[in-house]
RNA sequence: UGGGGUGUCGCCAAGUGGCUAAGGCAGCGGACUUUGAAUCCGCCAUUCGUAGGUUCGAAUCCUACCACCCCAGCCA
């Protein structure tokens, strides 16, 4: 288990410290994570989750989970369940503070009535197209709607009838009466309610008018007593509107602070685009191990601790930045290096026969499970015999410069077992492909050291052919070829044209240690000299399936290329 | 051409007028090594978007300019 970064400091925490020092909100800190249940959570959401929950915990406060379910046409219970599962998996607990914007629909309606009564909101009969035209542009002010100055009584009556279902969808809206000439377009009489004859996943058919996010969000935060509403940069322009609503209503006024959302290179984060990957079959589902979703990363083998550490390490600021994917990989390696048990796996097998080793002999080789940690003494047993599998890459008939693995005439160590020297190479006569390597072993080198003190340059892993367990191993590479998947070569193409055709490679002829035959789903291992792997739910007894989480750093790859 | 933001090392990111501009990732050396892993040591911004100015002193203050992001959904 890695220890979380301590002393994280960023502009948001600085503001909160200042607020506490000055006694704002009575020294209280209460945050919330407010997802819309219209998709699965991804690593970008993790940044917001970690921020909100950690900040609350650090300052002795609480963090709520609230679903902003104001648009039933896009939302579904499937998502509200998946989201809760993912947040729990990440390691966070909202106690009994699970809320829904829809819990507040009645209260929001009353707030709206209050604004109407004060002449601060009105029912508008303009069509959507007309509203757009009347809004004006970035450089020109808008025009006031002809319905803007209806009487309070008429507005009250109309609004009530909107709720009663007397008008067709899209025919009327409730708008705030603010300023059609404001340079901030959000203040040009924003829509508060729209008519939608859509069944809501929680309120059923109780409502046919639904609040917009802009109208609902700030009041929901207020009702929950939120002190610090942390949100992403694009809502900075909306803050004056949220402030206006809260001030008109005269209710608790949380402080909104905006930060930059997470962007990762070689990755897309937009929910709309992730949905496309799923629906168009570019990936197997939301939990495809190549997806940046939390469920995908979980299946891939990422740990909650690694993700949390990553989130704390990238910091929180206001500049639009793109984090290098390597940072994420570093975070998993760091965590898994410390805690993953080691095992040997041969991904692309090559037979190795030890000519001077007895035909029927089987030895039990004892190897440490956590060799990287001298304080741990657990061991495992791996059978050794005359015929082994080694990695194809660990033999070279003509060794390249600096190669220290097996080649004709050379001696290497079979990890934990014996020194072997290559005596011969057997090839397929037709294709010339190497199908077997012949060796002799030195019986004096049992355990991997020689009494005469001679050194070998290389140590390779191995598996006894008769004992190895067949396994399927799925290797993953980046889902996209470009750092910025949106950057497209040809006109008319979109991000899918940058999909990496080799992002998944399935090895069906791999082998693992006998002990792993029935490894538990989601358990993680380091396959020595390869990387970290995680047991996939597709595993069957006696035929486990492993997903590559992340490979080990590979300096040989740099040297050899 | 309106408004709101942001610009510090290849990538994140501290820094809020005064010791030699934190730290992490990546990279590069070297030590160690029964994982070409891990670990350990060392190197890696005379410079803070640009140009001026204020000051004994500026990444931090002022002025102008430049670049990038967000806003014209009855999405969130």
- Pair A122, A116: CB distance under 8 Å: yes
- Are A392 and A449 found together in one domain? yes
List the catalytic residue out of A32, A36, A239, A410. A36
Residue of A108, A141, A142, A148 whose CA lies nearest to A125: A148
In a domain, residue A476? The reply is: yes
Answer yes or no: A36 catalytic: yes
Give tens-digit pLDDT for A491-524: 888 999 999 999 999 999 999 999 999 999 999 9
Residue A8 has pLDDT above 80, yes or no: no
Burial A124-149 (b: 16+ CB within 10 A, else e): bebeeeebeebbbeeeeebeebebee
Residues A313 and A254 in one domain: no
Query: CA A231, C1' B23: Å apart?
Result: 26
Closest residue to B68 (CA, C1′): A320
Q: What are the distances in angstroms from CA A47 to CA A310, A371, A387, A484?
A: 9, 33, 50, 20
pLDDT, one tens digit per residue, over A520-529 is 999 999 999 9
User: A420: Cβ–Cβ under 8 A, 6 or more apart, which residues?
Assistant: A352, A354, A406, A411, A412, A414, A439, A440, A441, A442
A4 Cβ contacts chain B strand, under 7 Å: no
Does A217 share its domain with A88? yes
Of A546, A557, A556, give the one whose Cα is nearest residue A505. Answer: A546
List of residues 6+ apart from A165 with CB closer than 8 A: A197, A208
Closest nt to A445 (CA→C1')? Answer: B34
Total domain count for chain A? 3
Annotated catalytic residue A339: no
Do residue A203 and residue A257 come from a single domain? Answer: yes
Spatial CB neighbours of A199, under 8 Å, sequence gap ≥ 6: A72, A205
Nearest to A311 by CA among A299, A295, A323: A323
Domain assignment of residue A455, yes or no: yes
Listed in sequence order, the DSSP H helices in A98-151 are 105-117, 128-135
CA neighbor of A193 nearest in space, from A223, A163, A148, A168: A163
- In angstroms, how far is B75 C1' from A196 CA? 14
Maximum pairwise Cα distance, chain A: 103
Whichever domain contains A534, its CATH number is 2.40.240.10
| Contact positions of strand B to protein Cβ (< 7 A) | 1-8, 10-16, 23-28, 34-39, 68-76
DSSP-derived 3-state class of residue A363? strand
| Residue A424 domain boundaries | 343-467
Whether A423 and A387 share a structural domain: yes
**Distance (Å) from CA A545 to C1' B37?**
23
Q: Which nucleotide is nearest to A415 (CA to C1')?
A: B34
**pLDDT tens digits, one per residue of A300-350:** 999 999 999 999 999 999 999 999 999 999 999 999 999 999 999 999 999
- Give the long-range contacts of residues A268-271, CB within 8 A, separation 24 or more: A268/A292, A268/A480, A268/A485, A268/A486, A268/A495, A269/A42, A269/A43, A269/A44, A271/A38, A271/A39, A271/A40, A271/A42
A52 and A111 assigned to the same domain: yes
Domain boundary among A234, A264, A294: A264
Structural domain includes residue A209: yes
The three-class DSSP label of residue A14 is helix
A541 shares its domain with A502: yes
Backbone angles phi and psi of A318, in degrees to 5: -105, -5
Asked whether residue A368, judged by its CB, lies under 7 Å from any atom of the DNA or RNA strand B, the reply is: no
Asked if the Cβ of residue A195 lies within 7 A of any atom of strand B, the reply is yes
pLDDT in tens, A216-270: 999 999 999 999 999 999 999 999 999 999 999 999 999 999 999 999 999 999 9
- Domain assignment present for A225: yes
The answer on A87 and A133 residing in a single domain is yes
Tell me if A2 is assigned to some domain.
no
Query: From the CB of residue A557, how many other CB atoms can be counted at a distance below 10 Å?
Result: 9
Asked about A160 being catalytic, the answer comes back as no
> Between β-strands A504-512 and A469-476, what pairing exists: parallel, antiparallel or unpaired?
antiparallel
- Same domain as A275, residue A383: no
Pairing state of beta strands A30-33 and A62-67? parallel
Last residue of a domain, one of A264, A285, A308: A264
| Residue A495 CA, nucleotide B13 C1', distance (Å) | 29
Evaluate whether residue A1 is within a structural domain. no
Are A137 and A180 found together in one domain? yes
**Which nt has its C1' nearest the CA of A321?**
B12
A393 falls within a domain: yes
The pLDDT value given to residue A6: 42
Domain boundary among A399, A432, A467: A467
Beta strands in A260-361 (DSSP E): 342-343, 345-346, 349-354
At residue A216, the pLDDT reads 98
Residue of A97, A135, A148, A261 with catalytic role: A261
Question: CA-CA distance, A137 to A129, in Å (whole number)?
Answer: 14
Confidence of residue A489 (pLDDT cuts 50, 70, 90): confident
Protein residue closest via CA to C1' of B25: A327
The CA angle A47-A48-A49, to the nearest 5 degrees, is: 95
Cβ of A423 near strand B (distance < 7 A): no
What pLDDT score was predicted for residue A7? 54
Catalytic residue among A271, A333, A342, A524, which?
Answer: A271
State residue A5's pLDDT score. Answer: 39
- Give the CATH number of the domain where residue A62 resides: 3.40.50.620
Is there contact between A235 and strand B, defined as CB under 7 Å from any strand atom?
yes
Tokens of A327: 């940072």
Domain identity same for A133 and A156: yes
For residue A3, is it within any domain? Answer: no
Which of A's residues 318-357 have CB atoms within 7 A of nucleic strand B?
Answer: 318-324, 326-327, 330, 333-334, 337, 342
* Residue A182 and residue A302 share a domain: no
């Amino acid at each position: 288990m890695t220890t979380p970064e301590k002393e994280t400091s960023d502009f948001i925490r600085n503001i909160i410290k200042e607020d506490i020092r000055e006694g704002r909100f009575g020294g209280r800190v209460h945050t919330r994570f407010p997802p819309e249940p219209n998709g699965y959570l991804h690593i970008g959401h993790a940044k917001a989750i970690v921020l909100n929950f950690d900040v609350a915990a650090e300052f002795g406060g609480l963090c709520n989970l609230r679903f902003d379910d104001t648009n039933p046409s896009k939302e579904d219970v499937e998502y509200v369940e998946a989201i809760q599962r993912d947040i729990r998996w990440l390691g966070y607990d909202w106690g009994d503070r699970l809320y829904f914007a829809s819990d507040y629909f009645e209260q929001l309606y009353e707030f709206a009535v209050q604004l109407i009564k004060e002449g601060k909101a009105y029912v508008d009969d303009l069509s959507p197209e007309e509203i757009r035209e009347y809004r004006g542009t970035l450089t020109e002010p808008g025009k006031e709607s002809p319905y803007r100055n209806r009487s309070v009584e008429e507005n009250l009556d109309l609004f009530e009838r909107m709720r009663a279902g007397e008008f067709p969808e899209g025919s009327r809206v409730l708008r705030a009466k603010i300023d059609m000439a404001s340079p901030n377009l959000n203040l040009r009489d924003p829509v508060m309610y729209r008519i939608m004859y859509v069944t809501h996943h929680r309120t059923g058919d109780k409502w046919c008018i639904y609040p917009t996010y802009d109208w609902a969000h700030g009041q929901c935060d207020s009702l929950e007593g939120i002190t610090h509403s942390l949100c992403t940069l694009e809502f900075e322009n909306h803050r004056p509107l949220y402030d206006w609503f809260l001030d008109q209503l005269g209710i608790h006024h949380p402080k909104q602070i905006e930060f930059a959302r997470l962007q990762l290179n070689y990755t897309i984060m937009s929910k709309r685009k992730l949905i496309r990957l799923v629906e168009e079959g570019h990936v197997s589902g939301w939990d495809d191990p190549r997806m940046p979703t939390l469920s995908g990363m979980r299946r891939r083998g990422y740990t909650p601790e690694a993700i949390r550490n990553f989130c704390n390490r990238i910091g929180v600021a206001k500049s639009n930045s793109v984090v290098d994917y390597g940072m994420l990989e570093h975070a998993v390696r760091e965590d898994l290096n410390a805690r993953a048990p080691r095992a040997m796996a041969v991904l692309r097998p090559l037979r190795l026969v030890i000519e001077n080793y007895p035909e029927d002999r089987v030895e039990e080789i004892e190897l440490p499970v956590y060799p990287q940690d001298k304080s741990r003494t657990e061991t495992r047993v791996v059978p050794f015999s005359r015929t082994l599998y080694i990695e194809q890459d660990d033999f070279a008939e003509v060794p390249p410069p600096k190669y220290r693995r097996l080649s004709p005439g050379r001696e290497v160590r079979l990890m934990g077992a014996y020194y072997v020297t290559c005596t011969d190479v057997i090839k397929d006569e037709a294709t010339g492909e190497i199908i077997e390597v012949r060796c002799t072993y030195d019986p004096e080198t049992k355990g991997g050291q020689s009494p005469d003190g001679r050194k070998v340059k290389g140590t390779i892993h191995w598996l006894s052919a008769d004992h190895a367990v067949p396994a399927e191993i799925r290797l993953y590479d980046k889902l996209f070829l470009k750092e910025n998947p949106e950057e497209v070569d040809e006109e008319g193409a979109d991000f899918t044209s940058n999909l990496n055709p080799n992002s998944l490679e399935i090895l069906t002829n791999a082998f693992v240690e006998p002990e792993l035959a029935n490894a538990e789903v989601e358990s993680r291992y380091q396959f020595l000299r390869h990387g970290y792997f995680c047991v996939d739910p597709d595993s069957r007894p006696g035929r486990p399936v492993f997903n590559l989480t992340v490979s080990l750093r590979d300096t040989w790859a740099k040297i050899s290329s």
